[in-house]
Amino acid sequence: MDKTADYITEEKKKLLQAELEDLKGPKRKEIIDALEYAKSLGDLSENAEYHQAREDQGKLEERIAKIEHILQTSMVVSKHGGDTAQVGSTVVVEKEGTKENKTYFIVGSEEADMAAGKISNHSPFGEALFGKKKGDSVSFQTPGGTVNYKIIDVS
């Protein structure tokens, strides 16, 4: 598995495809209707509704392009079993100097959510864990200094 590649899970791929379908269908039509309405109000130079609709259209098209790019360039991974930490792995770690274990799921950068225990393979912590096995120690730099962890389990 390439450490530098972009990854998404099958679940995220389905969510992105559904969002793309919604953006290209109903949302795009909504904005086109708003533009038509705003044009009907007259003078476009001082028409706030028109300028807002154009801004919304730009944001929509930008999001569509981003999703299409993610779907075209990302590799889809499933939950990964095995003893080496990589995208799709669940890793249990213990911070040095504590007895508290924390569980993290390594995901692609598009899905990262630290509050949910999902860390990006491109984050400093994700990069430190990548390729390591149960019993290995890892360290990485944070704004507060170097942090050390011991890998308790990889699944």
Q: How far apart are CA 49 and CA 64, in angstroms?
A: 22
CATH number at residue 134: 3.10.50.30
| Higher per-residue confidence, 80 vs 33 | 33
**74 neighbors 10 (Cβ within 8 angstroms):** no
- List pLDDT tens digits, range 86-129: 888 999 999 988 888 999 999 988 899 989 999 999 999 999 99
Whether residue 71 is found in the same domain as residue 124: no
Q: Residue 105: inside a domain, yes or no?
A: yes
Q: Is 8 exposed, middle or buried (0-12, 13-18, 19+ CB in 10 A)?
A: buried
Can you give the pTM of this predicted structure?
0.75
Q: How many CB atoms lie within 10 A of CB 31?
A: 20
Range of the domain at 123: 79-154
Q: How many CB atoms lie within 10 A of CB 142?
A: 9
- Show which of 32, 59, 76 is a domain's final residue: 76
